[in-house]
Structure 1
Amino acid sequence: MNPDIHGLWPALLLPVSPGGELDTARAVAHAKRMLAAGCDGVTLFGTTGEGPAFTVAERKALLESMIGSGIRAGQIIVTTTALALGDAIELGRHAARLGVHRQMLMPPFFFNQPRDAGIIEAVSQVVRGIGDDGLKLLLYHFPFMSTFGFSHSAIAELVHRHPGQVMGVKDSGGDLAHSLALVKAFPNLSILVGAEPHVAPAMQVGGSGSINGLANLAPGLMRRVIDAPTQVSASDEQLMASLLGLLSIRPNMPFVGAYKAVLAEQTGDDFWLNMRAPLSPLENTEVQAVRDGYRAIGALLNDI
C-alpha cells in the first residue's frame, strides 16, 4: 500500500444556503466530525461536494478557514479541478502555500472524449504551473462525469513525466474490474476507490483506501472496511447496501441530494437539504422517502 495517500478520506459534502452561498462554519464543523470519527482526512471540492460549482475565491477561502480552524494541512486533499487550467494552477499553488500538498485533479471536461495526448498535456501543465516539489497528485478518474478516463498509458506517461508528484488515482468509475486492474498495473501508486462496495476487494489486492461519499454518513462503517478489508461482516455488508439503496429510493434523484437528505436527518439540520445551482434540492416527497428509508434501516444504524 502506497504510504503517501492511504486510508479513509470522505468526499466532503458542503452546506450551502437556499441561495447557494457556502456556509463555512457548518462545513468546518462537518469536517471536524469526520476527523473525530476516525477518518484519515477529508477531501474538499470533489463532485460529491459540488466542487466545480464554486468559484476560485470561494474554494480558497474555505481551505483557509479549514486550516485556520486547526485542521492540519496533512488532513486535507483538495480538488483543484477547474474548467480553465490557469484556475486549477492557481488553486494548486494556493493550497501548496498553505501546506496542502495532497491534491486531486480531473482535467477540463467540457470537450467530449479528448485524446490521451491532450489529457496528458493538461495535467502536465497544471503540475508544472503549481511548481510544488512536494505535490502529491491524485488523477481523478470519473468517466461518467468527465466523458473520458485516464488510460493506463496516460497514467504511466504522467508518472514518468512527474515522478514523485503524480502519486495515484482516485477511481470513481464504479467498475471493480477496472479498479483491480489499476492496482495490479500500478503497485507503487496510491489507488483509492470511490465505489464503496469495491473498497474491500481492491484493498485485498493492494489498494490504498477510499475517497467516497458514504463516509459522510457512516464513517465508522467505512473505517471498519478500510481497517479489515478481508473481514467485513455480514451486518456491515447489509448496512452498506441499505444506505446505498437510499440513493435510488426514488428514480432519477441526484446522489448528492440523497446524501444531503440523510445528513439532514442525522443531524436534525434541514440546512443540509440546500444545493448549489445547477443542482437543485430534492422534492419534498423525495426527501421524505429518503428519511423514511433511513429510519427503516433500524438497529443497524447503531454501527454507522
Structure 2
Amino acid sequence: MANDTLAGVFAPVLTPFDKTLKVDAPLFVKYCSWILSQGSGLAMFGTNSEANSLTVDEKLELLGLAVENELPVDRMMPGTGACALPDAVTLCQAAAKAKTAATLMLPPFYYKAVSDDGLFAFYAETIERVGDANLKICLYHIPQVSGVAISLPLIERLIKQYPDTVVGIKDSGGDFANTKAMLDAFPEFRVFCGSERFLLETMKHNGAGCISAMANVHPGAIVNLYETRANDGAQTKQDALNATRAAYDGIPMIAALKRTVAEYGKAPGFKTMRPPLVDFSDEGWEALKTKLGALSLKTPNLDKALS
C-alpha cells in the first residue's frame, strides 16, 4: 500500500462563515480539532466544505492555519481539484509542501464530455508541474455533481504512469457496483467509498475506508464501525449509521449538516451558507431535530470544543 496513514474515516470538513460571509478561520481550526479527537481524518475543501465557493487563497490560508496549529498532516486530505490548471498546481504544491497524507482531487469540472485523454493530460500536467515526491493524489469520482466521470481505464493509465503519486480514489457515485469494480481491478489502490452506507461492504472487499459527509456530525460512530468491522454486531452498527444518514435524505445536505453542528455545538456561525447556497430553514431544522432526537445522535464534547 502507498501510505499506511491513508486509510480509515475522513470528514469533508464543513466551513464556517461569519455574518459578512468571511471564513471564520479560528472556528474552523477548533472544529477540525474536534473531528480529529473523534478519530476521523480531515478531507477539508471537499464537496461538503463548500470548496467551490472558496478561493484558492482562502484554502491556502486554512491549510496553513491547520499546519501552524500542529494538526496532524498525516490525517489531512485537502481538496485540490480546480477547473484551472494553475489553481490545481498551486493547491497541490501547498499540500505536498505540508506533506499531507494525500490530496482529494476533482477532475476539471466545467467542461463536460471531456475525453479520458484530456483528463489524463490535466492530472499529468499537474503532477509534472508540482514535481514533488510528497504529492499523493486521491482521485475524486462524483459525476452526479461534477458531470465528469473518472473511468477505470483512466485510473489504470494514471496508476501505470504515476504509481507513487496517484494512490487512491473516493467513489461518491452512489453505485457500489462501480466501487467494487475499482476494488477488484486495482487491489493495491486505496479505494474509499463516499458514504458510510457502503462502509462495511467496502471493507469486506479490502477497501481503504470512507470519506463521508456524516463524519461531520457523528464521526466517532463511523470510526467505531471501521475499527470493529470484523466483530459481531458490525451489521447492527451499519444499520444504525444508515438510519442517521436517512434523516438527511431529501433535504439540502450541506446546509442541514451545518445547522446540526451549529445547534449541537452551540456555534451559530455554522448556520451561514455562502451564496448561491442558502441557510437551512427553521422549519426544516425543527423536523430534522425531531428525527435526530429519536435517533439519539451523539456529538461528544462538540459544544466545548467550539466554545
TM range (shorter): over 0.9
Structure 1: stretches of 5+ with no match in the other structure: none
Q: Kindly state the Cα deviation for residue 101 of structure 1 after the two structures are TM-superposed.
A: 5.3
Which secondary structure state, in structure 2, belongs to the residue aligned with residue 79 of structure 1? coil
1:221 and 1:303 in contact (8 A); partners too: no
Aligned counterparts of 1:228 and 1:303: Cα–Cα separation in 2: 19
Which secondary structure state, in structure 1, belongs to the residue aligned with residue 83 of structure 2? coil
Q: Kindly state the Cα deviation for residue 134 of structure 1 after the two structures are TM-superposed.
A: 2.0
Counterpart amino acid of residue 237 in structure 1: Q
**Between the two proteins, what is the percent identity of the paired residues?**
27
Q: Kindly state the Cα deviation for residue 247 of structure 1 after the two structures are TM-superposed.
A: 1.3
Identify the residue that residue 181 of structure 2 maps to in structure 1: 181
Which secondary structure state, in structure 1, belongs to the residue aligned with residue 153 of structure 2? helix
Identify the residue that residue 146 of structure 1 maps to in structure 2: 146
Aligned pairs (5 A) from 1:163-242:
163-231=163-231, 232-233=233-234, 235-242=236-243
Farther off after superposition, 265-274 or 51-60: 265-274
1:262 and 1:294 in contact (8 A); partners too: no
Identify the residue that residue 273 of structure 1 maps to in structure 2: 271
Aligned counterparts of 1:185 and 1:156: Cα–Cα separation in 2: 9
Aligned counterparts of 1:303 and 1:187: Cα–Cα separation in 2: 36
Aligned counterparts of 2:113 and 2:91: Cα–Cα separation in 1: 25
Call closer, same or farther: CA 1:123–1:134 in 2, change over 3 Å. same
Length-normalised TM-score, structure 1? 0.93
Identify the residue that residue 30 of structure 2 maps to in structure 1: 29
Identify the residue that residue 17 of structure 1 maps to in structure 2: 18
1:265 and 1:291 in contact (8 A); partners too: no
Summarize deviations over 1:159-189 as a string: whole Å, max 9, x none: 1111210001111111111111111110011
| RMSD after superposition | 1.9
1:10 and 1:42 in contact (8 A); partners too: yes
Which secondary structure state, in structure 2, belongs to the residue aligned with residue 15 of structure 1? coil
Q: Kindly state the Cα deviation for residue 242 of structure 1 after the two structures are TM-superposed.
A: 2.6
Structure 2: stretches of 5+ with no match in the other structure: 302-307
Q: Kindly state the Cα deviation for residue 203 of structure 1 after the two structures are TM-superposed.
A: 0.8
Aligned counterparts of 1:136 and 1:210: Cα–Cα separation in 2: 17
Length-normalised TM-score, structure 2? 0.92
Counterpart amino acid of residue 177 in structure 2: A
Summarize deviations over 1:83-114 as a string: whole Å, max 9, x none: 21110101111222223351111111111221
Farther off after superposition, 130-139 or 1-10: 1-10
Q: Kindly state the Cα deviation for residue 229 of structure 1 after the two structures are TM-superposed.
A: 2.3
Call closer, same or farther: CA 1:203–1:234 in 2, change over 3 Å. closer
Aligned counterparts of 1:302 and 1:87: Cα–Cα separation in 2: 35
1:201 and 1:229 in contact (8 A); partners too: no
Aligned counterparts of 2:188 and 2:147: Cα–Cα separation in 1: 27
Aligned pairs (5 A) from 1:48-197:
48-100=48-100, 102-197=102-197
Q: Kindly state the Cα deviation for residue 53 of structure 1 after the two structures are TM-superposed.
A: 1.0
Summarize deviations over 1:200-239 as a string: whole Å, max 9, x none: 1011111011111111111121112211224454552343
Which secondary structure state, in structure 2, belongs to the residue aligned with residue 138 of structure 1? strand
